[in-house]
Structure formats: structure tokens, C-alpha cells
């Protein structure tokens, strides 16, 4: 299998972003921030690389030591020297592909990283970029740098121009050889690669993959992070299904979805045999990937004999909440010829909603017959199916 490493270059001492710490070691994420710029950057590569190298300034070792499961490498006098040090640290690790990334591009999207990795299946080098869309000028910059001292001196054709980003990816041995022979500094690793004759494919960059450089960049990054967190929350939904059957025996009522319904026979089972509530409970366990009723309440255990099924449902929804989920909605179908469920459906919805502590609008109970076919059609028992959607709170 291909082994990919990432070298995160964090050796700069730039404090253009304000503050006394270099930008990559500053907190990101507003007042409640718990992660630094570099923590975000490292996190983005956790699932994308088998090995993470962080090249830090020798003076920043104390700051770097809190990073876990990374190889820490002291950087050199130039960016190129720092990358070279990172590459040398990977020799002997069986690395096939290496991505080289600026620590300050903390919000690099997964799609950008994957784009580079995919392109490396075809090419020795690949790097993300965005086409230049603004008009370009040449200008004279005044010595005093006052805002009114600069003048446009010409325009520049922007066609074929790109804004380079990172991670810049390469076949490991090729870029290692290129850095070993490269003299002096370079703007980036694409420059080093091209000087050594490596062709570099351009992959799709992203606006959010910007370099946190100035104080206002922190505010922009904070806002983007908040937006991404919300999107992740919205996407974190789990779905489960449940199915249960109980057979008829002697009796004068059945328990269905928490409602006692008069009937000429009763459902048999270890508990109260509420087939609808069992299907719903199993659907919740299923959505959580936490087994089924039998696992949590073994039928072999006498303490659950004749148990009221709301105990099971309360346990399942409680487990969901412990794991950070809330019921989005559920839908229970009862399959039987008799008793007629329709007249009790509203009471069943209310009973289930109350047990789960949710609004009745989130709970559906409906019924169908099986056209006199099969065991439900022959009235040997009742079957029930349930579907549940849980959403991260």
C-alpha cells in the first residue's frame, strides 16, 4: 500500500499577524478557542497521511512538544533548508508520497488534499492553485509607503496565471533528490521540483485554503471554522431500523406502542411483548450501532420477566442522549389483521413521545394488514417495523 507523509512547515518566526508568538502558535477560534493554528493544520492531515512531520524553529521546541504523534524536526535558516530537514527525517520510513504544507494554511479542505494525492498517482508532482481572476497592475511603490504615494504604471495579462497554494505533493525519492541538489532558498517546493526537472500538475485549490498572515485573517478563519462546525453538526445524522415479531396466546389485551388495546388474545413474550415498542427500541440501538434489546436486556435474565417495555425504550433514548444525539423523527409500522390500530394510533404516538421525552410531531405510528397472507395474515402473531433518525445535538 502507498505510504503518504506530510511535512508541515512551521519554522517561520513571522509576527505580522500581531501578538508576540509566531502566528502558527497562536490560538484560533475566538474566545473559547482550545486549539492553536497548528493544531487545526495537523488535525486536517490526521486521516490523510500515515506520518506527520512538523518542522519548527529551534526556539519553538517548547511550543511544538504538545503536538502528539508527530515527528518534530528543527528547521534550517531558509524555508528550503527546513523542508530538506523534514525530508531527511523521513528517510527510511518507507514513504512513497510526501505532501509539503504551510502551517498557516490551517483550514485546508479535505478535497484539496485528496486532489493532490490523487494526481500523484499519475504525476511526480502536483500542487493546488487558483486561477487569478482580478485584474493585475504593475505599480510604483513610494519609499515612504504612504497610501497616496503609489501609482499604477501598467496592467499585466492575467491569463495563465495562478495563485499557488499547498500542500504541494511529490514522489518522495524525487523531491528528496531535488532538495539535496538545490542551492539557496526557493519560493516553494514546486520551484525546487521544477529546477530538478519534475513536472508538476496543477490541482484545484480553494479560497478557504488561505494563509493566516494578518490579524484580520484570524477573524476570517474563526468565522469559517464556526460555519464548518455548523455544517458538520447538520450532517451528523444517524439512521436505524428495527423489526420484531411476537406470537399470540391466550389473553384479553395486547400492548402496542405503549397502549393497552382490548383484544381476544394476548401477545406472548418474556416482557409485556409490546412488539411496536421493541421495533422502535431496536431501531434506536441500530442507529447508534449499539446492539439490540436482547443484548442490553437478556431474556435469560429473570429480572426482565414481564418487564414493561418502556424501560427498554427509555434506556435506548437515554443512550442516544449520552452519545450526543437527539431523536429527529421515528416511524413505526404495525403489521396485523386485528386488532384495528387506527383508532389508537394517536394515543400510541403520544405514549411513545412521552416515554422518549420528545414532541409528538416527531413520532409516527401507522398500521397495515398483510392481506391475510403469512403468519400475520393467519393471525398467528403481530410484526412491527420501525425507522429512526437521530441527529447530533
Interface ranges with Mg ion (CB under 5 A)? 244, 278
Burial of 379 (0-12, 13-18, 19+ CB in 10 A): middle
Closest distance to Mg ion from the beta carbon of 302 (Å): 17
CB nearer to Mg ion: give 86 or 276: 276
Closest distance to Mg ion from the beta carbon of 244 (Å): 4
Closest distance to Mg ion from the beta carbon of 289 (Å): 20
Handedness of CA 362, 368, 370, 376 (dihedral sign): positive
Residue nearest to Mg ion (CB): 278
Peptide bond preceding 167: is omega within 30 degrees of 0, i.e. cis? Answer: yes
Question: Any idea of the CA torsion for 355, 360, 363, 366, to the nearest 10 degrees?
Answer: 110
315 is written with which cell numbers? Answer: 434506556
Closest distance to Mg ion from the beta carbon of 335 (Å): 14
CB nearer to Mg ion: give 123 or 290: 290
CB nearer to Mg ion: give 201 or 261: 261
Closest distance to Mg ion from the beta carbon of 86 (Å): 59
CB nearer to Mg ion: give 186 or 280: 280
* Rounded-to-integer distance, Cα 205 and Cα 226, Å: 21
CB nearer to Mg ion: give 113 or 341: 341
* Rounded-to-integer distance, Cα 377 and Cα 333, Å: 15
The CA distances from residue 251 to 27, 247, 255, 339, in Å, are 67, 12, 11, 13
CB nearer to Mg ion: give 39 or 244: 244
Cβ within 8 Å of residue 113, ≥6 positions away: 44, 45, 48, 99, 167
CB nearer to Mg ion: give 221 or 382: 382
CB nearer to Mg ion: give 76 or 269: 269
Closest distance to Mg ion from the beta carbon of 384 (Å): 9
Handedness of CA 301, 302, 304, 306 (dihedral sign): positive
Closest to 344 measured CA to CA, from 257, 221, 239: 257
Give the three-class secondary structure for 155.
Answer: strand
Q: Are strands 71-74 and 51-56 parallel, antiparallel or unpaired?
A: parallel
Specify whether the CB–CB gap between 110 and 44 falls below 8 A: yes
Own/partner contacts of 231-234, CB < 8 Å, gap of 24 or more, are 233/392
User: How many Cβ atoms sit within 10 Å of the Cβ of residue 326?
Assistant: 15
Closest distance to Mg ion from the beta carbon of 318 (Å): 19
* Rounded-to-integer distance, Cα 134 and Cα 114, Å: 27
Closest distance to Mg ion from the beta carbon of 254 (Å): 13
Q: Which residues pair with 97 in a beta bridge?
A: 4, 171
Closest distance to Mg ion from the beta carbon of 281 (Å): 9
CB nearer to Mg ion: give 299 or 318: 299
Amino acid at each position: 500500500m502507498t505510504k503518504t507523509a506530510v511535512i508541515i512547515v512551521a519554522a517561520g518566526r513571522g509576527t505580522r499577524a500581531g501578538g508576540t508568538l509566531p502566528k502558527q502558535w497562536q490560538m484560533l477560534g475566538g474566545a473559547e478557542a482550545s486549539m492553536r493554528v497548528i493544531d487545526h493544520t495537523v488535525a486536517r492531515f490526521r486521516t490523510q497521511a500515515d506520518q506527520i512531520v512538523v518542522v519548527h524553529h529551534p526556539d519553538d521546541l517548547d511550543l511544538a512538544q504538545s503536538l502528539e504523534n508527530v515527528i518534530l524536526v528543527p528547521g534550517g535558516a531558509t524555508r528550503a533548508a527546513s523542508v530538506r530537514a523534514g525530508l531527511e527525517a523521513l528517510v527510511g520510513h518507507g514513504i512513497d508520497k510526501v505532501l509539503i504544507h504551510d502551517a498557516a494554511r490551517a483550514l485546508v479542505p479535505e478535497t484539496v488534499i485528496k486532489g493532490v494525492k490523487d494526481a500523484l498517482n499519475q504525476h511526480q508532482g502536483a500542487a493546488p492553485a487558483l486561477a487569478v481572476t482580478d485584474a493585475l497592475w504593475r505599480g510604483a511603490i513610494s519609499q515612504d509607503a504612504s497610501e497616496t504615494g503609489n501609482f499604477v504604471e501598467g496592467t499585466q495579462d492575467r491569463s495563465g496565471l495562478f495563485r499557488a497554494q499547498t500542500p504541494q505533493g511529490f514522489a518522495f525519492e524525487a523531491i528528496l533528490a531535488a532538495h539535496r541538489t538545490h542551492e539557496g532558498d526557493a519560493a516553494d517546493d514546486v520551484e525546487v521540483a521544477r529546477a530538478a526537472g519534475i513536472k508538476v500538475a496543477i490541482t484545484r485549490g480553494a479560497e478557504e485554503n488561505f494563509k493566516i498572515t494578518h490579524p484580520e485573517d484570524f477573524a476570517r478563519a474563526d468565522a469559517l471554522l464556526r460555519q464548518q462546525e455548523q455544517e458538520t453538526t447538520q450532517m451528523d445524522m444517524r439512521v436505524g431500523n428495527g423489526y420484531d415479531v411476537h406470537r399470540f396466546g391466550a389473553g384479553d389485551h395486547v400492548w402496542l406502542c405503549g397502549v393497552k388495546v382490548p383484544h381476544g388474545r394476548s401477545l406472548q413474550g418474556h416482557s409485556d411483548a409490546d412488539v411496536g415498542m421493541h421495533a422502535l427500541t431496536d431501531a434506536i440501538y441500530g442507529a447508534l450501532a449499539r446492539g439490540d434489546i436482547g443484548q442490553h436486556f437478556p431474556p435469560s435474565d429473570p429480572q426482565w420477566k414481564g418487564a414493561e417495555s418502556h424501560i427498554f425504550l427509555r434506556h435506548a433514548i437515554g443512550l442516544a442522549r449520552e452519545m450526543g444525539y437527539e431523536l429527529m423523527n421515528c416511524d413505526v409500522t404495525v403489521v396485523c389483521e386485528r386488532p384495528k390500530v387506527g383508532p389508537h394510533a394517536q394515543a400510541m404516538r403520544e405514549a411513545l413521545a412521552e416515554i422518549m421525552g420528545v414532541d409528538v410531531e416527531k413520532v409516527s405510528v401507522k398500521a397495515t394488514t398483510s392481506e391475510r397472507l403469512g403468519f400475520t395474515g393467519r393471525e398467528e402473531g403481530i410484526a412491527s417495523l420501525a425507522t429512526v433518525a437521530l441527529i447530533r445535538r
